[in-house]
């Protein structure tokens, strides 16, 4: 990339896309191309082709996707596989047809096999059974990675795929039906605090372990890899440290100042027992995460409260 590159950030209003836009702007990239879902339906190939034809795009960050937590993935699997396959297929092929110089595709560590050894190494992808609660999403994302690799082999393109761990940060989705575990917990604990509720219910046993990466760290890693990495192999992006859901709840409790207790509903699914990524490849390239979880939680909570105040006005 150079400062004059015409850079398209697909999904610029989402948690990942907005962080990438912030990082690009902070580093002096001024030719950013962004479209809302109202302005451009990425599931419509004609609209996507028109964008690439009119904007003469050099670089693509493919952060647009239909995402959600256990509840949403369980309830709407057809939506997850259809929308994600359409979005990524349209953008990846349009990028090739229009001669885009480089593209970064966002995968996810939740698409590794459910019972893969820990920590998760890049070579473990597609070596075992997927987690049933997000199988449709995982199949779509695996197809996107394979598509990038296939275009590189057949057409000589320069498309890279990254595998971020669980993300959080400014602009997260706090909808209890659609959100991931950290923002869902943050909202639940905040509302319990506001309503002076004595108890907060958490799905599962609290024993699964997850790794959490701040969205601004992810964005920084993505820009770093666009500058320093070319290859057909996926690259994990994470902190290299994980925490149990029970301990995460306690951290959130301390950040919010909630004095109640947690009830773990063991009738609900836990999801993958552990998801901890091996980041040795990324570290060998020269990048490491910088934002501690407790500091990230504090800033995310402040952002959430500001968002609530804006809505209430």
Look at residue 313 and tell me whether its pLDDT is greater than 70. no
Mean per-residue pLDDT, 273-277: 86
Mean of per-residue pLDDT scores for the chain: 94
Mean per-residue pLDDT, 256-282: 92
Confidence of residue 118 (pLDDT cuts 50, 70, 90): very high
Look at residue 140 and tell me whether its pLDDT is greater than 90. yes
Look at residue 70 and tell me whether its pLDDT is greater than 80. no
Tens of pLDDT along 294-303? 999 999 999 9
Q: What is the pLDDT of residue 48?
A: 98
Mean per-residue pLDDT, 118-144: 95
Q: pTM of this prediction?
A: 0.93
CA–CA separation, 236 and 218 (whole Å) = 10
Domain count, the chain: 1
For residues 65 and 273, the model is more confident at 65
Q: Is 299 annotated as a binding residue?
A: no
Closest by CA to 60, choosing from 110, 85, 97, is: 97
Give the domain range for residue 165. Answer: 7-312
Tell me whether residue 87 is in a domain. yes
Tell me whether residue 1 is in a domain. no
Percent of the chain exceeding pLDDT 90 equals 85
Tell me whether residue 2 is in a domain. no
Q: What is the pLDDT of residue 272?
A: 72
Is residue 124 part of the annotated active site? The answer reads no
Owner of token pair 């004609």: 46
Q: Is 180 annotated as a binding residue?
A: yes
User: CB neighbours (10 Å) of residue 228?
Assistant: 10
Mean per-residue pLDDT, 154-183: 90
Q: How many residues are present in the chain?
A: 313
Tell me whether residue 58 is in a domain. yes
Residue 12: CATH number of its domain: 3.40.50.720
Tell me whether residue 283 is in a domain. yes
Which is catalytic among the residues 29, 112, 137, 168?
Answer: 137
Q: What is the pLDDT of residue 114?
A: 87
Percent of the chain exceeding pLDDT 70 equals 99
Q: Is 12 annotated as a binding residue?
A: yes
Tens of pLDDT along 179-226? 788 999 999 999 999 999 999 999 899 999 999 999 999 999 999 999
Closest by CA to 159, choosing from 226, 228, 108, is: 226
Mean per-residue pLDDT, 69-79: 85
Q: What is the pLDDT of residue 67?
A: 84
Tell me whether residue 11 is in a domain. yes
Tens of pLDDT along 7-61? 999 999 999 999 999 999 999 999 999 999 999 999 999 999 999 999 999 999 9
CA–CA separation, 307 and 313 (whole Å) = 10
Tell me whether residue 143 is in a domain. yes
Q: Is 210 annotated as a binding residue?
A: yes
Q: What is the pLDDT of residue 273?
A: 81
Tell me whether residue 305 is in a domain. yes
Q: Is 190 annotated as a binding residue?
A: no
Q: What is the pLDDT of residue 185?
A: 95
Q: Give the DSSP per-residue string, the chain.
A: --TT--EEEETTTSHHHHHHHHHHHHTT---EE---TTT--TT-HHHHHHHHHHH---EEEE-------HHHHHH-HHHHHHHHHHHHHHHHHHHHHHT-SEEEEE--GGGS-TT--SSBPGGGTTSSPPPGGGHHHHHHHHHHHHHHHHHHHHH---EEEEEE-EEESTT----TTT--HHHHHHHHHHHHHHHT-SEEEEES-S--EE-EEEHHHHHHHHHHHHHH---SS-EEES-S--EEHHHHHHHHHHHHT--SEEEEETTS---SSEE-B--HHHHHHT------HHHHHHHHHHHHHHHHHHHH-
Mean per-residue pLDDT, 69-89: 91
Positive or negative, the Cα torsion across 143, 147, 150, 154?
positive
Look at residue 279 and tell me whether its pLDDT is greater than 80. yes
Q: Is 82 annotated as a binding residue?
A: no
* Strands 243-244, 209-210: pairing kind: antiparallel
């Amino acid at each position: 990339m150079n400062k004059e590159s015409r850079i398209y950030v697909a999904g610029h209003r989402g948690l990942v896309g907005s962080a990438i836009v912030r990082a690009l702007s902070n580093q002096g990239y001024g030719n950013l191309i962004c479209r809302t879902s109202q302005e451009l339906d990425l599931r419509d190939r004609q609209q996507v082709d028109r964008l690439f034809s009119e904007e003469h795009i050099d670089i693509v960050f493919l952060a647009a996707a239909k995402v959600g937590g256990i509840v949403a993935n369980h309830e709407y699997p057809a939506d997850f596989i259809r929308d994600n396959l359409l979005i990524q297929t349209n953008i990846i092929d349009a990028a090739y047809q229009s001669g885009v110089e480089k593209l970064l595709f966002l995968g996810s560590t939740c698409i590794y096999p459910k019972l893969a050894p820990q920590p998760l190494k890049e070579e473990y992808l597609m070596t075992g059974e997927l987690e049933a609660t997000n199988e449709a999403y995982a199949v779509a994302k695996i197809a996107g990675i394979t598509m990038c690799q296939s275009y590189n082999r057949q057409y000589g393109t320069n498309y890279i795929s990254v595998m971020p761990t669980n993300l959080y940060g400014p602009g997260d989705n706090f909808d209890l039906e659609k959100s991931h575990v950290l923002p869902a917990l943050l909202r639940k604990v905040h509302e319990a605090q506001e309503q002076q509720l004595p108890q907060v219910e958490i799905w599962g046993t609290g024993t699964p372990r997850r790794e959490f990466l701040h969205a601004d760290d992810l964005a920084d890693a993505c820009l770093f890899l666009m500058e320093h990495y070319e290859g057909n192999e996926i690259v994990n992006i994470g902190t290299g440290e994980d925490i149990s859901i029970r301990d995460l709840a306690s951290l959130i409790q301390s950040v919010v100042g909630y004095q109640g207790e947690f009830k773990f509903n063991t009738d609900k699914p836990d999801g993958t027992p552990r998801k901890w990524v091996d980041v040795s490849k990324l570290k060998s390239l020269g990048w490491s995460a910088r934002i501690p979880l407790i500091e990230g939680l504090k800033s995310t909570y402040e952002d959430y409260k500001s968002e609530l105040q804006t809505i209430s006005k």
